[in-house]
Amino acid sequence: MAWDFSTDPEFQEQLDWVAEFCREEVEPLELVFPYAVRLRARDPKMAALVDPLQQQIKDRGLWALFLDKELGGPGFGQVKLALLNEILGRYSSAPSLFGCQAPDTGNMEILAAYGTPEQKERWLKPLMNQEIWSAYSMTEPAGGSDPNLFVTTAVRDGEEWVINGEKWYTSAGRHADIIFVMCTNGIFIVPRDTPGVEIMDQPRTHDHIIYNEVRVPLDHLLGPEDGAKVLAQRRLGGGRIHHAMRAIAQCRRAFDMMCERALSRQSHGKIIAEHQMVQEAVADSYAEINMLRLLVLWTAWTIDNSSTAEARTQIAACKYTAAKVLKEVSYRAIHIFGSLGVTDLTPLQAMWSGAPTMSVMDGVDEVHKVTVARNVLKGYEPHEGYWPTDYYPEMRARAREKFADAFAADPDLATYADLMAKRMAGRH
């Protein structure tokens, strides 16, 4: 049995390079040209800024981090991916620069796992090369994220599928080239400019889309017909743990800001770091971030040594814990910053307002808590009779049976045990 909390030196060197690269190259780019990666395909000026950076990333073997080697990625596994995301998650454009941005990552995973050779050639390679972008259209206005309540359907008509339905919260749908649409009978790849794809004006980031007699060829079905739930679980399981990995980075950034501010400002004649309420905020945040980090790394290790399905309970716990810790830490940081914290002049407001989004995307936290509770309780049995297993009177009676021979051989020992029993009984 071995416990190890270290990172091998070779990979640590990669992490150090990524941290410096993000600090020196990624952050300045996103501050001046926040949409550079998305615009590079159609704007030569943005391509001239982005392409050399992405070439450096590819030269280091860090492109498409989330994919296994046979699918075109480096095959790092989830633990190494978690360590990398603890850096990338601090910068909004870093995942895109490294070719591991959501929602494309999840879509590429299921396309790589379930796509035909023709589908991979048509869509996977362009997605990996960021020649096109994708979205995932699952949630519905009435059914939320519960597939059992979905009503969007695809009906076969000759050599085409005809899709009708309504989807809500399709992140980046209006900017996507292809949309992975989850219907009651499968997942279908729909080009955004297909007639009948109607994107509503609001909301602007997580889109409301109506599919009105949308026709796509038969080969646009991904995986087997009626396989939507299986594909969705494959996709969302990985997506949830990756969100949690990046949330650690956001929590750490808020924490770093909190600590720096606490040492920089004065109130009532002393720096605010000397006030006990501020110390409590620092101490609680430190503990919560590290508990989340260990939970995520343990889950990542479990996936590496089994599968996403085997780690389902842990992934669900990561999902709602990440949202909770991000909310608490960013809120404390905002308070320590005071009036500056409630403006949009620092990243803190975006972090805090992002916590509710994390709580509802990929299934609301309450659903994941139910999953965790049900799975955990499967490992327990109800006790018999009135009293629980850890009921002292019965525990002590059973324990005395272990010493029956000793008591028979030494009556004084039995007398001493009786004395202890009376003393313990007097405490209740």
* pLDDT tens-digit series, residues 301-320: 999 999 888 999 999 999 99
**Does residue 272 lie within any of the structural domains?**
yes
Percent of the chain as helix, strand, coil, to the nearest 5: 60, 15, 30
277, 362: one domain: yes
Q: What percent of the chain has pLDDT over 90?
A: 81
- CB neighbourhood size of 425 (10 A): 11
Tell me the pLDDT band of 161, cut-offs 50, 70 and 90: very high
The string of pLDDT tens digits covering residues 324-353 is: 999 999 999 999 999 999 999 999 999 999
Higher pLDDT, 112 or 251: 251
What is the overall mean pLDDT for the chain?
93
**Does residue 202 lie within any of the structural domains?**
yes
Tell me the pLDDT band of 239, cut-offs 50, 70 and 90: confident
20, 92: one domain: yes
Question: Backbone phi, then psi, for 40, in 5-degree steps?
Answer: -60, -35
Dihedral angle over CA of 93, 98, 104, 106, nearest 10: -120
User: What is the CATH classification number for the domain harbouring 33?
Assistant: 1.10.540.10
Last residue of a domain, one of 222, 252, 287: 222
The pLDDT, as a whole number, for residue 164 is 98
CA distance 341 to 343: 6
SS3 312: helix
**Does residue 113 lie within any of the structural domains?**
no
271, 305: one domain: yes
**Does residue 382 lie within any of the structural domains?**
no
Whole-prediction pTM value? 0.90
The string of pLDDT tens digits covering residues 5-51 is: 999 999 999 999 999 999 999 999 999 999 999 999 889 999 999 99
239, 365: one domain: yes
Question: Backbone phi, then psi, for 35, in 5-degree steps?
Answer: -115, 25
Q: 242, 344, 331: which is closest to 288 by C-alpha?
A: 331
373, 235: one domain: yes
**Does residue 371 lie within any of the structural domains?**
yes
Residue 194, pLDDT > 80, answer yes
Q: Write out the residue range of the structural domain in which residue 417 sits.
A: 397-422
Pair 182, 223: CB distance under 8 Å: no
The pLDDT, as a whole number, for residue 428 is 59
Tell me the pLDDT band of 237, cut-offs 50, 70 and 90: low
**Does residue 391 lie within any of the structural domains?**
no
* DSSP secondary structure string for all residues of 272-285: GGGSHHHHHHHHHH
Tally of domains in the chain:
4
